[in-house]
């Protein structure tokens, strides 16, 4: 799988391959520079590669080469991660970093937009769970419909902002990887922060309220609107978990926290 691109782009393997449900990755070096060769196996990842190229290294990892389903990206080699920061006394700072990177990605660019998926398309996956299970799924779906019917500040969305997708690139700063390539209201991109960095942390009520203030302040998002996006996204995430045969406990816990705060 990797061999044609290793030859074509004159790459040297620099670590073991990583296989996920949507792509295969191989750490490499290109003229001595650390890079990551990624071959996508689903269209969503391919669209993400087009968006990475559109960002042109501005707020996201730089694209060094791209062809069909293969993309070569600059690779972060720092041992500093937002997850480690969040778990060791720098939770608020980690959230601020993610907010800053997301805002940078949302900024308009002069070049024509790449192919993007309307945010409303993603939320179609929530409706079957709402119809079948009701409860928090139905509340999340109703809020999502309301938000999507009256969008504010429509931008190019990363679609999966969380502690593992914003990396330390040293002198280049914190940059994004693995976008999904969506078009929709900017508030959506901040919701997944609250489902991370791990399930036990995400569902702590005191921590949730503190992060709510941190993110709201950092983004200038109105608190209620942010809570609505958290509720909508967490419900969608839980619905995806059901589709994949996984337990949706974390996402449902975050949705409950958001709904509780909305009711205060």
Active site residues: 160
CA-CA distance, 77 to 8, in Å (whole number)? 24
76: Cβ contacts below 8 Å, ≥ 6 apart = 61, 167, 168, 169, 170, 175
Cα→Cα distances 252→26, 120, 139, 197, Å: 34, 20, 11, 15
Q: Locate 178 and state its tokens.
A: 């693995």
Q: Residue for token digits 């601020």?
A: 96
Phi and psi dihedrals of 94, rounded to 5? -60, -40
Render the burial of 28-62: b for 16+ CB within 10 Å, e for the rest. bebeeeebbbbbbeeebbbbbbbbbbbbebebbbb
Beta pairing class for 117-118 and 154-157: unpaired
CA nearest to 95, candidates 213, 188, 200, 178: 213
12 phi/psi in degrees, rounded to 5? -115, 125
Give the residue among 85, 67, 76 at the shortest CA–CA distance from 34: 76
DSSP state of 172: G
């Amino acid at each position: 799988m990797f061999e044609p691109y290793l030859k074509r782009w004159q790459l040297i393997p620099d670590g073991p391959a990583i296989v996920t449900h949507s792509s295969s990755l191989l750490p490499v070096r290109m003229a001595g520079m650390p890079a990551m060769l990624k071959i996508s196996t689903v269209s969503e990842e391919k669209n993400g590669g087009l968006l990475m190229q559109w960002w042109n290294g501005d707020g996201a990892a730089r694209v060094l080469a791209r062809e069909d389903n293969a993309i070569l990206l600059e690779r972060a080699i720092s041992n500093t991660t937002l997850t480690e920061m969040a778990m060791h006394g720098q939770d608020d700072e980690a959230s601020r970093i993610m907010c800053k990177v997301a805002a940078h990605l949302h900024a308009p660019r002069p070049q024509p937009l790449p192919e993007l998926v309307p945010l409303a398309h993603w939320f179609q996956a929530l409706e079957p769970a709402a119809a079948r299970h009701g409860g928090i799924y139905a509340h999340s779906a109703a809020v999502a419909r309301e938000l999507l019917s009256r969008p504010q500040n429509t931008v190019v969305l990363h679609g999966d902002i969380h502690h593992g997708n914003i990396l330390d690139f040293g002198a280049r700063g914190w940059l994004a990887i693995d976008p999904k390539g969506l078009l929709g209201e900017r508030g959506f991109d901040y919701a997944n922060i609250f489902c991370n960095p791990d399930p036990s942390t995400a569902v702590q009520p005191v921590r949730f309220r503190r992060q709510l203030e941190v993110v709201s302040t950092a983004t200038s998002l109105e608190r209620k609107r942010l809570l609505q996006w958290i509720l909508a996204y967490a419900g969608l995430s839980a619905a995806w978990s059901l589709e994949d045969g996984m337990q949706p406990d974390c996402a449902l816990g975050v949705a409950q926290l958001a709904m509780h705060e909305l009711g205060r």
